Amino acid sequence: MGFDHVEVLLDGPHARSRAEAWQAPLADALDDTGLGLVVHLPFALDLGSPFGPVRDGAVRECRACLNLAADLDASKAVFHPSSDAWDLGWTDAERRGFVVDGTRRVIRAARERGMAPVPENVIHGPFVAPEIDDLFEALGEDDAAEDLGTTFDTAHAVLGDPSVDLETHAAANADRIDHLHLSDTRGSGDEHLPAGMGELDFAGLFTSLDGWSGTATLEVGTRDLETIALGKRHVDRLLGREPR
């Protein structure tokens, strides 16, 4: 289908605790196909927990996942800079501080292992897409934001509170976007539909990113290869490529 990398979520079937069953087969498949690897750290880990030991544990698991990813020569590590802290019990400033602490440590750990950390815009929390400047400003206190790229998730962007226009936001932040999650939605939730099966304006997004260089994942909620191929062909057509 013409892909150049695969993104693996290190949770569920590919959780680190189950690596004995899947790590070697994945390494062999990457070698056989020549595909690159991007990893997605477990999004259930609460990097912005208000409870220090919980936050520390989330960071430790991220570090362990990054060790595994490094063994597989992953180039990038996607993660969610988010918090499950009770919004009635903790101020917005406090929640932001918790997230920044966890995020800073994951950024450092990824870089130490030769991977590019690419925090992803989330739907809820202190740092949704329109507030990405705030995250960079907070991380800039110790240079964690230096040369930092982000993951721009299209569905998260339009479902976020507040939401953003894909084309406008991407154009304004193209220099910060290093990785894309191309995920479509009909607006009712994070459906992970193949591009073209929902209501998002991917044509406008790609126009705004003309000349951009980075990686993109078709983040779809199916294992059906024909359905995945439909989304890939739609993206290829929008980019003026011959569908493969």
**What's the pTM value of the predicted model, to 2 decimals?**
0.96
> What pLDDT is attached to residue 142?
80
Query: What are the extents of the domains in the chain?
Result: 1-148, 151-244
Average pLDDT value for residue range 108-124: 97
Among 28-42, 74-88, 167-181, 229-243, the least confident range: 229-243
> What pLDDT is attached to residue 29?
98
Confidence of residue 244 (pLDDT cuts 50, 70, 90): low
Average pLDDT value for residue range 207-217: 96
**Sign of the dihedral through C-alpha 189, 192, 194, 200:** positive
Evaluate whether the domain defined by 1-148 bears CATH number 3.20.20.150.
Answer: yes
The tokens 């750990």 sit on which residue? 109
Q: What angle do CA 151, 117, 211 make, to 5 degrees?
A: 45
Average pLDDT value for residue range 125-133: 91
Average pLDDT value for residue range 166-183: 97
* Overall size of the chain counted in residues: 244
Buried-state track 28-61, b at ≥16 Cβ within 10 A, e below 16: eebeeeeebbbbbbbbebbbbbbeeebbeebbeb
